[in-house]
């Protein structure tokens, strides 16, 4: 079984520095998955609060279990789509995401909604994959799959992981 959180652990220390979360901050974790980044944020924002959002009920259930097991009490989880979630206006100091924002169906709606949820000086800190061509591991996996499958399946879902890989894509949102 692959442990996704363990696999991404080397990225987390860099990401935590970029978050610059303060002890009293209110944090939104976009695409929180099983809650690793949410719990990390909650430990730092010990006098604040963290909301973890994910579209998967199973992920949210596991995140809640993890949070209970770690004894963290300043976290709330919601199974919801960021594009449509009804946030209180200007309620977060920082929004974070480790590989969650690149799967937005409607990035303009999602980022607009997050923008409304952030305080005037709030910040969005997210980690996304670079373009597909710059990810050797993904190219090699795709080549191996293409070589063994007579007619490759459509790649639309797989390509979403690289949807924000081009720095110019952020300027067009």
Query: Where do the H-state alpha helices sit in 30-75?
Result: 36-44, 57-69
Closest CA to 132 of 172, 99, 164: 164
**All residues at 6 or more sequence positions from 66 whose CB lies less than 8 Å from its CB, including other chains:** 34, 35, 36, 39
In this predicted structure, the answer to whether residue 62 has a pLDDT above a threshold of 70 is yes
E strands, 36-148, in order: 49-54, 75-79, 92-98, 118-127
Domains of the chain, CATH where assigned: 4-128 (3.40.50.150), 132-169 (no CATH)
pLDDT in tens, 90-140: 999 999 998 788 768 888 899 899 999 999 999 999 886 555 565 555 545
């Amino acid at each position: 079984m692959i442990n996704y959180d363990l696999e991404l652990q080397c990225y987390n220390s860099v990401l935590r520095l970029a978050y610059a979360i303060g002890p009293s901050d209110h944090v939104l974790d976009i695409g929180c998955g099983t809650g690793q980044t949410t719990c990390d944020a909650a430990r730092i924002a010990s006098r604040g609060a963290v909301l973890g959002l994910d579209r998967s009920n199973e992920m949210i259930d596991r995140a809640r279990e993890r949070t209970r097991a770690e004894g963290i009490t300043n976290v709330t989880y919601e199974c919801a789509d960021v594009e449509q979630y009804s946030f209180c206006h200007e309620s977060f100091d920082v929004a974070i995401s480790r590989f969650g924002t690149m799967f937005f169906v409607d990035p303009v709606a999602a980022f607009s909604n997050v923008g409304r949820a952030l305080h005037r000086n709030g910040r969005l800190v997210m980690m996304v994959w670079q373009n597909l061509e710059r990810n050797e591991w993904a190219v090699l996996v795709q080549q191996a799959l293409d070589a063994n499958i007579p007619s490759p399946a459509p790649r639309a879902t797989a390509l979403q992981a690289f949807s924000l890989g081009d720095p110019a894509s952020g300027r067009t949102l």
